[in-house]
Amino acid sequence: MTQDPPHSDEAERAILGACLIEPACITRVLDLDAMDFYRHANRDLFAALVDMSRSDTKVDYLTVENYLRDCGKLERVGGIEYICKLADDVPTLSGLQEYARIVSTKARARTLIAGMGEIQRRLFEGDDPDEMAPDLARFISIGTVGKYREYTIQDALADLEAYQSGEAPGLLNVGFDVLERYSPAMGELTVLAARPSVGKTALAVEMAERIARRGDAVLFLSLEMSGQGITFRRIYYDTGVPSSRLRRAGTMTDVDWSHTGAATARMRDLPVRLYSGVFRQMDLEAVIRAEKIRSNVRAVFIDHIGKVRLPRREPRVAELGVLTEGLAATAKELRVAVFALCQLNRQSEARDSKRPSLSDLRDSGEIEENADNTWLLYRESKYKEDADDTLEIIIAKARDGSTGIARARLDPKTGRISDGEV
């Protein structure tokens, strides 16, 4: 006996009945799509109600009947008899959001079943499991994270009000006052580029900490340093106890142990997920999707993209372009802010002025083109002994924001970065 896919006739009819009884309910369920409804009749009726609402057409039993007749779908939905019966299927209007949640959950379950069936079929046909990993992660994210959604003028007005009131949920505060005006939006790819030993990792670690302290989940993928190296660096920034003492037997004092214990206790409670190792592009995307589901991460740091294992079927610069294009797509789809650290080529150091520019990044393929934002780091003291340790964060590209230069303080002893110039 064939089992019907997951669905709830009761919840579907309750939503439609509520919208007919009180047309204002239609705007409260616009996150649903007609395809979320399992019954074809319910799909057609919901699509008609949404179309009528958006065209400011009066919604009642008579106008809905005429609309469906004009579309040639009245009989397909069961006629006026079915439409009139829907009002009897509404337990309470106050339960509308719960009915919508049930319908959405059942729809995602059907999507997962269909996707897993396709994965199973391909595995039986001998497809490479490694190559299928991104498809599997994508099916899971569609089934559990979200889907495509129309963006309306009403959405724009709501976002505008939120931005102007300073309560915009679409921006990510990275925790630095000097960077607040350059906050990236959720769903954007920010490339953070510099020459070695300027402060890329230090800035990324500090931003991750500050974002997490605000309660937002963070994913940190370290391809260059070990997980221990990143964690010991975090302890060092917090306590001032250098990694050399942390690693050398018998060198930590009682005070060091006290400070380290307090620091690790604070870190343990922060929503930071740290992974290190060798990653391919498909691994990066799979981990990001998995952590979006697991902990609803809002910020992802990848240190750094030059260490991603690529197939080497094309020139390196072309492959990096494909990589960043994929990261940008993943960020947008999952609505996470992705920070991709990148090492600049030596060209900037061959000039009299060592300060980097976008042209230094353009030689690295399509990285700059794929990025929504590009931050270039520069520290004069790397090249001049008598210079101070101000770290310049050059906002060289901001797709929907302003460019400029933010200046932070880099402690030469600990490497920690803080607000304000030296």
Residue 253 is predicted with a pLDDT of: 77
Tell me if 329 sits within 8 A of 178, measured CB to CB.
no
Can you tell me the distance from the alpha carbon of 337 to that of 357, in angstroms, rounded to the nearest whole number?
23
Asked if 210 and 397 count as a contact pair (C-beta separation under 8 A), the reply is: no
Distances (CA, A) of 338 to 12, 173, 190, 346: 37, 13, 6, 25
The confidence score (pLDDT) of residue 221 equals: 95
| Architecture in CATH for domain 171-419 | 3-Layer(aba) Sandwich (3.40)
Question: Positive or negative CA dihedral for 205, 277, 371, 219?
Answer: negative
CA 252 to chain centre: 40
Query: What's CA 66's distance to the chain center, in Å?
Result: 43
- The reported pTM is 0.66
CATH of domain 9-144: 1.10.860.10
- Six-digit token string for 394: 């050059």
Instruction: Report yes or no: 235 and 260 within 8 Å, Cβ to Cβ.
Output: yes
β-sheet with 373-379: strand ranges across? 272-276, 218-222, 299-303, 337-343, 189-194, 373-379, 390-398, 404-410, 417-419
The DSSP code for 170 is T
Residue 422's pLDDT is what?
Answer: 45
Same fold, 9-144 and 171-419: no
Helices (H), 55-95: 61-70, 79-85
If you search the block for the tokens 């009947």, which residue do you land on? 65
Residue 285 sits at the vertex; the CA angle it makes with 324 and 332, to the nearest 5 degrees, is 65
Whether residue 304 is preceded by a cis peptide bond, meaning omega within 30 degrees of 0, is yes
**pLDDT score recorded for residue 163:** 65
Per-residue confidence (pLDDT) for residue 124, from 0 to 100: 86
CB atoms within 10 A of CB 363: 12
Strands 373-379 and 337-343, by their bridges, are unpaired
- In the chain, domain spans: 9-144, 171-419
Query: Could you tell me the mean pLDDT of each successive run of 10 residues in the chain, 422 residues long?
Result: 82 93 86 89 93 87 91 90 88 86 89 81 81 65 56 71 65 87 90 88 91 92 88 79 75 80 84 89 85 88 88 72 87 91 78 77 71 90 79 88 86 75 49
Q: How much is the pLDDT for 168?
A: 58
CA distance 407 to 390: 6
| Three-state SS at 24 | helix
- Cβ distance 374 to 361 under 8 Å? yes
Give the pLDDT of residue 2: 65
User: CA dihedral in degrees (28, 30, 35, 38; nearest 10)?
Assistant: 0
